[in-house]
Amino acid sequence: LGYAGVVRFRGVRIGGISGIFKSHDYRKGHFECPPYNQQTIRSAYHVRNIEVFKLKQLKRPMDIFMSHDWPRSIYHYGNKKQLLKMKSFFRQEVENNTLGSPAASELLQHLKPTYWFSAHLHVKFAAFMQHQATAKEELPKATKFLALDKCLPHRDFLQIIDIEHDPNASDSLEYDAEWIAVLKATNSLINVTQSSWNMPENNGLHAKWDYSATEEAIKEVLEELNHNLKIPCNFTLTAACYDPSKPQKHVEPVHTINPQTTEFCALFGLTDINERIQQAKEEGSVRGEYEEEEEEEEMDSAGSAEEPSEYNTDNSGLSSINPDEIMLDEEGGDEDLSTCSVDPSPDHPPDFSASFSDIRIMPDSMVVSSDDAMDSNNEELEKSGASKQTEEKSLNERSLKRIGCNENGNSGMKKIKRRNQAIYAAEDEDKTE
């Protein structure tokens, strides 16, 4: 699927987007490549606006969609009380409606998939969201959301769901003709620099803003492929397999062009982003930007280097402050995060309350354990529609701490550090009795 993509299997349409949301990286291009520096290793995995823009050009129904980060506000449509019992340190962000990705919520409202699967927060959570019906729809669509826990002992990390499919359809992964047509239409929008830029909008500033695929464009894709949409099994080894008898320490990674991507782009006349980045790097245009990265990152942290994001808040970094998570951070971060809590206020409703319905019925097809049973408390339901704005100062302090600067404000060498090592040997301590 790459940064974002859509494929088909047995007639089931499956889409996905990679990364988490961070506003000051959201509008940048894909400019990072190995070897990473202290800034690019943090920005490489963030969602970009061009991927969201491309997915929003899709018009045909989506069966399954996957994302790493949760869509913001989805916690209002499941057993929020049980979620906060399991992960009490989410309370402040849930009540402020800042947990998760606003970009993913935007896609959730646009695509309205039958199922949406996410990860990231290391807790099992199911929700049922009823969308508002449009003028073209006889019945409103609904999305069944499911996130699972980490794959560890005593965790809810596996659930099997039966998906309706076409038994006569191909049992191979297939290209999605509409998605390929969108990729071809938006190819000119590709950016491999860290400069911020906005996608075309119907605001009088852009000659073209609708890049959705026409029936003619989809037909052209099918004709290019002779109506054979099967994705080739063309995996190619680009790095030597790990050999424990020959350990190699401190080997600097190199930027490798993926042959599969090269072949895919050549087939459809698309720009190979990795190849474009490599060319820019060789020409020296990227190197100068890398040298300025740390200074710009420091300014970003102070909120003065870039224009404001189109999203009014960026607290998604806080959503990943999770005791279970692998951290790219030099600090231990062992502070107690379970005591964060604020009182909800009716003055600031959730961002998407206008389009989200209050239906909170768990579908029979998404069976959950008794611990995940829906909370029918009316008072809790009312609270789910309320939030409170916390002081930005405290949020900024938590965000800056996660960046991992020392007392002098300089970023030290980042290293992967896993919190709570004991969790791998001991019984789960997250759950409250």
Burial of 196-222, coded b for 16+ CB within 10 Å and e otherwise, reads beebeeeeeeeeeeebebeeebbebbe
What pLDDT sits at residue 268? 95
Residue 238: Cβ-neighbour burial (10 angstroms; 0-12, 13-18, 19+)? exposed
Task: Calculate what percentage of the chain has a pLDDT beyond 70.
Answer: 66
Amino acid at 4: A
**Whether pLDDT at 127 is above 80:** yes
Residue 326: Cβ-neighbour burial (10 angstroms; 0-12, 13-18, 19+)? exposed
What pLDDT sits at residue 324? 54
**Whether pLDDT at 203 is above 50:** yes
C-alpha 162, offset from chain centre: 24
What pLDDT sits at residue 23? 83
Residues 6+ apart with CB under 8 A from 277: 30, 31, 32, 33, 192, 255, 286
What pLDDT sits at residue 251? 80
Reported as a single tens digit per residue, the pLDDT across 68-111 is 999 999 999 999 999 999 999 999 999 999 999 999 999 999 99
The more confident residue out of 409 and 325 is 325
Among 73, 99, 155, which Cα is nearest to 320's?
Answer: 99
**Mean pLDDT (whole number) for 197-224:** 92
Distance (Å, whole) CA 202 – CA 55: 17
Cis bond before residue 323 (omega within 30° of 0) = no
Q: Let me know: does 427 contact 81? Beta carbons within 8 Å.
A: no
pLDDT winner (highest mean) among 126-140, 349-363, 418-432: 126-140
The more confident residue out of 413 and 141 is 141
What pLDDT sits at residue 285? 52
- pLDDT-wise least confident of 232-236, 335-339, 413-417: 335-339
Which H or E run contains 49? helix 49-55
Can you give 357-401 as a three-state secondary structure string? Answer: CCCCCCCCCCCCCHHHCCCCCHHHHHHHCCECCCCHHHHHHHHHH
**Mean pLDDT (whole number) for 99-128:** 96
pTM > 0.85: yes or no: no
The more confident residue out of 158 and 400 is 158
Q: What is the Cβ-side half-sphere exposure of residue 386, based on CA atoms within 13 angstroms?
A: 12
pLDDT winner (highest mean) among 255-259, 388-392, 420-424: 255-259
Q: Let me know: does 319 contact 100? Beta carbons within 8 Å.
A: yes
Q: Let me know: does 34 contact 310? Beta carbons within 8 Å.
A: no
Q: Is 198 helix (H, G, I), strand (E, B) or coil?
A: coil
Domain coordinates in residue numbering, the chain: 4-236
The more confident residue out of 417 and 118 is 118
Distance (Å, whole) CA 97 – CA 102: 10
Task: Calculate what percentage of the chain has a pLDDT beyond 90.
Answer: 47
What pLDDT sits at residue 22? 85
Distance (Å, whole) CA 330 – CA 122: 22
Q: Let me know: does 12 contact 32? Beta carbons within 8 Å.
A: no
The more confident residue out of 419 and 191 is 191
Reported as a single tens digit per residue, the pLDDT across 275-324 is 999 888 888 754 444 444 444 444 343 333 333 334 443 444 444 455 55
Residue 65's pLDDT band (cuts 50, 70, 90): very high
Reported as a single tens digit per residue, the pLDDT across 358-395 is 334 444 444 444 344 344 344 443 444 444 444 444 44
Reported as a single tens digit per residue, the pLDDT across 139-179 is 899 999 999 999 999 999 999 999 999 999 989 999 999 99
**Mean pLDDT (whole number) for 123-134:** 93
What pLDDT sits at residue 249? 78
**Whether pLDDT at 432 is above 70:** no
**Whether pLDDT at 254 is above 90:** no
The more confident residue out of 1 and 62 is 62
